[in-house]
Amino acid sequence: LEEFKRVRVRSFKEVYALVDEKMRSITDKSVGARRLVGDEKIRRVLTAKLRVSCETVREELERVEEAVSLVKSMGEFYAKLFELYTRLDLDALLGKLRRSRRLVGRIEEDYASRLRSAGTRREAVASFREGLGRCLSLYKRLNRDVVRVKQGVAELAKMPSVKGDYVVVIAGMPQVGKSTLLSKLTRAKPEIGMFPFTTKTIIVGHWESEYGTVVFVDTPGILDRPVDEMNEIELKAVYAVKYLADAAIYVFDANPNSYYSLEQQLKTYSTVRSLLGDKPVIAVLNKVDVLREDELEKLARELGEKIPGELVRVSALKELNLDYLKKVVLEKLTAGKRPP
């Protein structure tokens, strides 16, 4: 994601300004035409201006291509997220960019040869203008897409890296203890960034397990409500998480005074469960420290009947049973394989 910070995609306006600047720097002297006279001199200068303009447009198209390829190379999560928000089809765009780049090359050669054979000064100027116009308009036609790429890349650059061997998303309603859990499962201080295209934060922590790096991700405001309460932007974020996660931990709050009822928590659980498809969702009952043994048994039984699989009881705050939770996470992620 550091690479996204270095990407520099230019809008049509910026490219136009750049072309203008480069053309201005071309003089009789710079193209070795000082000694030439009349039409010959003009042809030489105009050809140089045309070539530098086309070359610039080509280079800038290439930059956009590189940015798009970079997004694609980052994996399905980033690519999907990017496509959802920019409403671009990355493969189709790459095709368009490549075709335009080849076309610029042809325009350059075509108009350079017209300039060479121009009989009069007027003809030369007309050919130059036409060639330049065609070349710039190729970029202009792509500008809407280019601007979206530019904005999209800037958004991705705000995100902390989720690079690792496995990604586990921590889901659950607000206040159930997700961020406490994340900080206790990972050693280093969690990194905080922005979830792209939203005003929501994303919190990332890494755990070096014997199977490789497991990245835990907490996205407050994204996986903490039933989908039918979400707006379009939030839905897109949720949809993208599906491609990010190899598994999810769903946190239930055992506190009887918790802000959300068990029904509400179960509803959001169903959302997360269906979102993850056939990927594992590990159900966790947090804050077990606030209950008496018999209360806990009762709650765990009640909840256990409503969800498939094991319910792992922990206290994130008191660090109870977290090693066991980690063991379960690894088992689910690696499906019982041996460590490498």
- Rounded CA-CA distance 59/18 in Å is 12
Least distance CB 313 / ligand GDP (angstroms): 10
Does residue 179 bind ligand GDP (CB under 6 A)? yes
Least distance CB 277 / ligand GDP (angstroms): 24
Neighbours of 334 (CB within 10 A): 18
- Which residues, in sequence order, are bridge partners of residue 140? none
Does residue 219 bind ligand GDP (CB under 6 A)? no
Among the residue ranges 28-36, 109-117, 168-176, 204-212, the one whose residues contact ligand GDP (CB under 6 A): 168-176
For residue 94, which phi and psi values (nearest 5 degrees)? -60, -40
Among the residue ranges 151-159, 178-186, 206-214, 297-305, the one whose residues contact ligand GDP (CB under 6 A): 178-186
Residue whose CB is less far from ligand GDP, 152 or 177: 177
Question: What is the size of the binding site for ligand GDP (CB under 6 A)?
Answer: 16
Residue whose CB is less far from ligand GDP, 49 or 313: 313
Least distance CB 176 / ligand GDP (angstroms): 4
Among the residue ranges 16-24, 38-46, 265-273, 316-324, the one whose residues contact ligand GDP (CB under 6 A): 316-324
Does residue 290 bind ligand GDP (CB under 6 A)? yes
**The only residue of 53, 209, 315, 334 in contact with ligand GDP, by rule CB under 6 A:** 315
**Phi-psi category of residue 283: left, alpha or beta, with phi > 0 → left and psi -120 to 50 → alpha:** beta
Residue whose CB is less far from ligand GDP, 184 or 273: 184
Least distance CB 179 / ligand GDP (angstroms): 3
Does residue 51 bind ligand GDP (CB under 6 A)? no
CB burial readout 175-202, b (16+ within 10 A) else e: ebbbbbbbbbbbeeebeebbbbbbeebb
135 neighbors 129 (Cβ within 8 angstroms): no
Residue whose CB is less far from ligand GDP, 180 or 264: 180
Does residue 321 bind ligand GDP (CB under 6 A)? no
Residue whose CB is less far from ligand GDP, 3 or 289: 289
Neighbours of 25 (CB within 10 A): 9
**The only residue of 44, 287, 313, 332 in contact with ligand GDP, by rule CB under 6 A:** 287
Does residue 180 bind ligand GDP (CB under 6 A)? yes
Q: CA angle 166-264-283, nearest 5°?
A: 30
Q: CA angle 141-147-150, nearest 5°?
A: 140
The position carrying tokens 């859990």 is: 181
Among the residue ranges 61-69, 102-110, 129-137, 281-289, the one whose residues contact ligand GDP (CB under 6 A): 281-289
**The only residue of 30, 69, 161, 175 in contact with ligand GDP, by rule CB under 6 A:** 175
Least distance CB 225 / ligand GDP (angstroms): 12
Please provide the distance, in angstroms rounded to a whole number, between the alpha carbons at the two ends of the chain.
27
Does residue 176 bind ligand GDP (CB under 6 A)? yes
- Rounded CA-CA distance 198/293 in Å is 42
What size, in residues, is the chain?
340
**The only residue of 300, 317, 322, 326 in contact with ligand GDP, by rule CB under 6 A:** 317
Does residue 178 bind ligand GDP (CB under 6 A)? yes
* Segment 84-92 long-range contacts (CB within 8 Å, at least 24 positions apart): 84/197, 84/236, 84/239, 84/240, 85/152, 85/155, 85/196, 85/197, 85/236, 86/148, 86/149, 86/151, 86/152, 87/148, 88/145, 88/148, 88/149, 88/152
> What's 321's DSSP letter?
S
Does residue 177 bind ligand GDP (CB under 6 A)? yes
Adjacency order of strands within the sheet including 311-313: 191-194, 201-209, 212-218, 166-171, 247-253, 281-286, 311-313
Residues that bind ligand GDP (CB under 6 A): 172, 174-180, 286-287, 289-290, 315-318
